[in-house]
Amino acid sequence: MMTSPISIKTPPTNTTPLDKRSRQFRIQMVKMLEAARRGHMASAFSLVEIIRVLYDDILRYDPKDPHWISRDRCILSKGHGALALYVLLAEKGFFPEAELWHYCKENGILGGHPEYGKVPGVEASTGSLGHGLSIGIGFALNARYLKSDHRTFVIVGDGECNEGAIWEAALAASKHKLSNLTVIVDHNKQQSYATTYEVLDLEPFAAKWRAFGFSVREADGHNVEELRGVLAKVPFDSSKPSVLICHTIKGKGVSFMENNLEWHHKNYPTASEIKALIAELERE
Amino acid sequence: MRKTCLDMVYEIARKDDRVVFIGSDLGVATLNQFKEEMPDRFFMEGISEANVIGMAAGLALEGRIVYVNTIASFLTRRCFEQVALDLCLHNLNVRLIGNGGGLVYAPLGPTHEAIEDIAIFRALPGMTIIAPADADEMCRVIPLTVDYPGPVYIRLGKGGDPIVTNDLLPFVIGKGMIMHEGDDALVVTTGIMLKTALDSARILATENINVTVLHMPTIKPLDKACVLEFTARIPVIVTLEEHTIIGGLGSAVMEIIGEANFTEPKRCKRLGIPDVFPDKYGSQAGLLAYYKLTANDLTKTIKQLRSL
């Protein structure tokens, strides 16, 4: 188990190799962005394994009945990571894969941020940061009221944890002892302008969540086996909400995108950049 | 009005287990009976409006009908984005009950006065805005909100406001009510200012000036047909509201008139709070007088417009 560093002045590293499936998801995302000329690719790249493991192994759902009452709820609160969510939802059959090629287009249902009511499998519209956790608390409280064993997962970004609303929600989740609620933090340590340490330092991050009443675990957010193992154990404490801090790399999988802030808002990669991205992702 | 409102929420919650209540940090013992009888549907969540609205959204997405209560200025200003995105974008059945609409919190100053709450929420797609005139009307409103689709903002008065409505006119969300009739001038009003409008109409009646008073408890969606019916034939039109003149009822009525292309000229005036943060304390009544929002001020305005 990794531990959270006290502070990082140098970029984080992660040498976990990506298997073919993880690389294929990323290639699909590159092609979607190439067609749409819009999207947060690097932020989505840091999320792929988290979402993959959730939808492969952890969440209970039926893509043919996305409103099934007993499904586990999953909110991508860092809505700008939508590309990663879309490729998984398409693969699982929530909507036809052809829809991916209408991403950000007038005739499509997949926007730059996921929208409830448009995209089957999306539980809440997100995009403006700091909203998803409170909505997830509403879900979790209702599950408790119904005495249902379905669970709620909320994926937040570390930059998103700049928002005060996240910490209001953290207080509330803890107050209600929502053991049926799990927060997953995509802790890639980069935000738009600079590192999280420089923009608004979150450290000591794990200790903060612990102090707010969560049961905390940390994991390598690109290690599928490790994620599978730790997420299978939620709740980490039967009387507390859980948080899994996933150490990730923004742009994971492409050497020249990893930890490169220029890629946060890069909407117009050149043809040669696209070629280089795909070439690197296709390499075994 | 507030007590009546919360009592009604308790009553509907007893009958309908979809109903949930969330308060922020309300006065001690608020809705104690609700809490005792239905503890799993009663939440007091602290001074955390953003989280309260998000929570309400999550519960409403799951099919609950959520009544949220806190001070109106906090509901409209502090958590505007949560109201816009979590409630309105998702079109959820959450009812926001705002204490102290208008100048009720005059002694507490501009941090607590809700004088632009209607303007703020009018701009949100799907939001319904209701400002009842008195506690009796509140009793008629709350049961209607249970199955009304989408988010609703309910603006509360001070409490103990004089009763000026009756149940002869059925309350329909989205419909205006004719409270006094006459063809010499039209007053369009909402909330507790209805009493001021009716007082003025009675004063003017003694001088043989006959005024129609339209009560618009629903400011959004505004009853456009009703506004057009009366503005088409009455030449003098005054709007009266306990709200900034920017973006509230007066603006909404003038937007309708502006696009009606009447051939006859109209003489119009919006009476409301000017574009300032109130700079005095005192009482609600005192500030209403300070901003010339009394029956005598309205009477004077109508006479002036008629003499033009």
Domain boundary among B107, B125, B155: B155
- Inter-chain CB proximity B48 and A168 less than 8 Å: yes
Residues of A in contact with B61 (CB under 8 A): 116, 123-124, 135, 138-139
Compare B219 and A271 and report the one with higher pLDDT. B219
Give dist(CA B64, CA A172) in Å, integer: 19
Is any Cβ of chain B less than 8 angstroms from the Cβ of A111? no
Tokens of A7: 């502070």
Q: How far is A138 from chain B (nearest CA, A)?
A: 4
B8 and B146 in a single domain? The answer is yes
Q: How far is B74 from chain A (nearest CA, A)?
A: 15
B49 and B124 in a single domain? The answer is yes
B:63-102 residues touching chain A, CB 8 A cutoff? 63-64, 81-82, 85-86, 89-90
Residues of B in contact with A124 (CB under 8 A): 57-58, 61, 86, 90
Of A123, A142, A172, the CB nearest to B64: A142
Structural domains in chain A?
Answer: 20-282 (3.40.50.970)
In chain B, how many domains are there?
2
Which residue in chain B is spatially nearest to A169 when comparing CA positions? B51
Q: How far is B31 from chain A (nearest CA, A)?
A: 20
B147 and B43 in a single domain? The answer is yes
Give residue-wise pLDDT tens across range B191-215.
999 999 999 999 999 999 999 999 9
Is any Cβ of chain B less than 8 angstroms from the Cβ of A141? yes
Give dist(CA B279, CA B273) in Å, integer: 12
Q: pLDDT band at residue B89, thresholds of 50, 70 and 90?
A: very high
B59 belongs to a structural domain: yes
B10 and B150 in a single domain? The answer is yes
B6 and B151 in a single domain? The answer is yes
Q: How far is A125 from chain B (nearest CA, A)?
A: 7
B161 belongs to a structural domain: no
Instruction: Please check whether residue A44 is in contact with residue A257, taking contact to mean a CB–CB distance below 8 angstroms.
Output: no
pLDDT of residue A38: 82
Q: Which residues contact B211 (CB under 8 A, 6 or more apart)?
A: B180, B182, B184, B185, B186, B187, B200, B201, B204, B205, B302
Which residue in chain A is spatially nearest to B50 when comparing CA positions? A165
Is any Cβ of chain A less than 8 angstroms from the Cβ of B30? no
Q: Which residues contact A239 (CB under 8 A, 6 or more apart)?
A: A177, A179
B134 and B46 in a single domain? The answer is yes
pLDDT of residue A8: 55
Residues of B in contact with A172 (CB under 8 A): 45-46, 48, 51, 55
pTM of the model: 0.96
Q: How far is A261 from chain B (nearest CA, A)?
A: 28
Tokens of A154: 């909320």
Of A117, A132, A142, the CB nearest to B59: A142
B108 and B8 in a single domain? The answer is yes
pLDDT of residue B212: 98
CB-CB neighbours of A192 under 10 Å = 12
Give dist(CA B195, CA B162) in Å, integer: 8
Is any Cβ of chain B less than 8 angstroms from the Cβ of A48? no
**Element housing B8 (H / E):** helix B2-15
Share of chain B above pLDDT 70, in %: 100
Q: pLDDT band at residue B50, thresholds of 50, 70 and 90?
A: very high
Residues of B in contact with A135 (CB under 8 A): 54-55, 57-58, 61, 86
pLDDT of residue B294: 98
Of A127, A138, A168, the CB nearest to B61: A138
B94 belongs to a structural domain: yes
B102 and B241 in a single domain? The answer is no
B218 belongs to a structural domain: yes
Of A123, A135, A144, the CB nearest to B54: A135
pLDDT of residue A1: 47
Give residue-wise pLDDT tens across range B63-81.
999 999 999 999 999 999 9
Is any Cβ of chain B less than 8 angstroms from the Cβ of A14? no
B162 belongs to a structural domain: no
Give whole-number Cα distances, A193 to A10, A11, A263, B190, in Å.
15, 14, 11, 48
Give dist(CA B23, CA B56) in Å, integer: 10
Which residue in chain A is spatially nearest to B81 when comparing CA positions? A128
Q: Residue-wise pLDDT tens for chain A (284 aa)?
A: 454 444 556 778 899 999 999 999 999 999 999 998 888 899 999 999 999 999 999 999 999 999 999 999 999 999 999 999 999 999 999 999 999 999 999 999 999 999 999 999 999 999 999 999 999 999 999 999 999 999 999 999 999 999 999 999 999 999 999 999 999 999 999 999 999 999 999 999 999 999 999 999 999 999 999 999 999 999 999 999 999 999 999 999 999 999 988 888 787 889 999 999 999 999 97
pLDDT of residue A6: 45
B171 belongs to a structural domain: no
pLDDT mean over B229-235: 97
- Inter-chain CB proximity A128 and B64 less than 8 Å: no
Q: How far is A86 from chain B (nearest CA, A)?
A: 20
B144 and B43 in a single domain? The answer is yes
By residue range, what is the domain housing residue B104?
2-155
Give residue-wise pLDDT tens across range B244-291.
999 999 999 999 999 999 999 999 999 999 999 999 999 999 999 999
pLDDT of residue A9: 61
Domain boundary among B87, B120, B155: B155
Q: Provide the CATH number for the domain around residue B62.
A: 3.40.50.970
Domain boundary among B155, B187, B222: B155
B205 belongs to a structural domain: yes
- Inter-chain CB proximity B90 and A125 less than 8 Å: yes
Give residue-wise pLDDT tens across range B160-171.
999 999 999 999
B11 and B151 in a single domain? The answer is yes
Average pLDDT score over chain B: 97
- Inter-chain CB proximity A138 and B54 less than 8 Å: yes
B52 and B122 in a single domain? The answer is yes
B25 belongs to a structural domain: yes
B18 and B143 in a single domain? The answer is yes
Residues of B in contact with A123 (CB under 8 A): 61
The percent helix, strand, coil of chain B (3-state, each to 5) is: 40, 20, 40
- Inter-chain CB proximity A134 and B82 less than 8 Å: yes
Q: Provide the CATH number for the domain around residue B191.
A: 3.40.50.920
